[in-house]
Amino acid sequence: MADESEASGGGAQNPAASWPERPSTDYGFLERALGDASADAFVHVGDRFDDDMRYLTRFSGPDRDFAFVFVGDTAGGDATSTLCAPALFEAQAKREFPGDEVRMENVDDPAGERARALLDEALGGDGTVLVPQGVPHDAALYLERAGYELRSTSAVDDARAVKTESELDCLRRVQRATARGMARAETILAESTADGDELLWEGGPLSTERLRRQVNVTLAAYGVRDAGNTVIGAGPSCADLHFTGTDGIAPGETVLLDISPRGPHGYYGDLTRTFVVDGDGGWERRAYVAVEAAQNAAFDELDAGAGVAASTVHEEAAAEIAAYGFSVGEEPGFTHGTGHGVGVSLHEAPSLRADAPLEAGMVVTVEPGVYDSSQGGVRIEDLVVVTEDGYEVLAAYPTGIVPQER
């Protein structure tokens, strides 16, 4: 693998040369959704933190609302996609938006009002408009008061679930960086030594916060950012599934690292490993064996490729956990689902609890785990893309409960 970092400076390389191209968005799914619903347009409003907006516009915009308007060809002419960009963001909007037009007029109006004005140009105050169900209430009111009938659609969720090659390039790139962050943490754990009830590293006690900073430094060196998702638990806090606090790390307890940085063009990585330094081969070994077997059982289902019901993957993993004597659905045991989609959101469709079949191009985590608040927690997670005849792990990373220098 090419080294895409520049952690401590040296080297004449241009790190950005490794960035994949910004993915585009094919609005064909919106044309089909309008056709299916006999609707005239689609509108969404949101800020840079709204991932539907990121997908629809590819615009990494401001923390104020902006608007996306798609008018179907039912109105006479060709379908048109428009971004109502905020003041001061014109150059960036034009650089990033793959649609037809960036509009800058009425920049002081609320985004919903700007969307309304655009609809009026095309539809004259009459028609049916699809919106995501979480569109801001004030934006919905601007459209309704102008005479449009709103209907909610899940078309954006559905489209986002299946990735293009260009999106997969972004996901592979961020997942490789995620693996580098994991390697840093695993190496630190391998270098650590037991001292009474503390783990020492480079002369000081190792804590979850100290380890997290080291991981995040590595992520930053590879051009991705931790996005507040570098979850590291130690012992009991592993059972607290989203622990980002500060705990000392003791010898013999599970250290669970769930690293989910955000990378080029807004795509997330997601990788979990669990290690024990100086373990006594008790609870955590049994848990590790069960979780590894459950992940393999899930992979076996994915081997069947497209056409497998998503829920089958979860059910097989859960059955394996149960076969090892752990509970499913409650502690001590497997307290969550086996996986979720990953894209411009860390959690998106499909869920591996869904009945619908997996499709080629869907990217999902495979992450069984078992937890016991009095002992600790073990989870192993990889990110895969479903293919026509199986699956591809986006960035392979070794498993093993005893940390190695990587």
Residues 67-86 that bind its own copies (CB under 8 A): none
x/- map, 95-114, its own copies, by CB under 8 A = x-------------------
> What is the per-residue DSSP string for 63-84?
SS-EEEEEE-GGGSS--EEEEE
Q: Residue 351, interface with its own copies (CB under 8 A)?
A: no
Within 248-267, which residues bind its own copies (CB under 8 A)? 262
Task: Report angle CA 306, 394, 396 to the nearest 5 degrees.
Answer: 120
Query: Which residue among 228, 281, 282, 400 contacts its own copies (CB under 8 A)?
Result: 228
Among 98, 147, 205, 361, binds its own copies (CB under 8 A): 205
Q: Shortest CA distance to 401 belongs to which of 204, 268, 253?
A: 253
Look at the alpha carbons of 142, 145, 146, 149 in this order and tell me if their dihedral is positive or negative.
positive
HEC string of 313-325 equals HHHHHHHHHHHCC
Residue 296, Cα to own-chain centre: how many angstroms?
22
The whole-angstrom separation of Cα 153 and Cα 30 is 10
- Residue among 302 and 354 whose Cβ is closer to its own copies: 354
Applying CB under 8 A, the site for its own copies has a residue count of: 72
Q: Which of 37, 190, 244, 285 binds its own copies (CB under 8 A)?
A: 244
Could you tell me the smallest distance in angstroms from the CB atom of residue 320 to its own copies? Answer: 21
Please pick, from the candidates 220, 306, 322, 360, the single residue that binds its own copies as defined by CB under 8 A.
Answer: 220
> Should residue 274 be labelled a site residue for its own copies when binding is judged by CB under 8 A?
no
Interactions with its own copies, residue window 5-44 (CB under 8 A): 5-7, 9-16, 19
CA dihedral 27, 30, 34, 39 (to 10 degrees): -90
Say if residues 258 and 234 touch (Cβ distance below 8 Å): no
Among 243, 267, 334, 391, which residue sits at the site for its own copies (rule: CB under 8 A)?
Answer: 243
Q: Identify which of residues 131 and 366 has a Cβ nearer to its own copies in the complex.
A: 131
Query: From the CB of residue 29, how many other CB atoms can be counted at a distance below 10 Å?
Result: 16
**Interaction of residue 214 with its own copies, rule CB under 8 A:** yes
Write down the least CB distance from residue 285 to its own copies, Å.
Answer: 25
Tell me 238's DSSP state: G
- Please say which residue, 249 or 401, places its beta carbon nearer to its own copies: 249
Quick one: tokens of 195? 């001292």
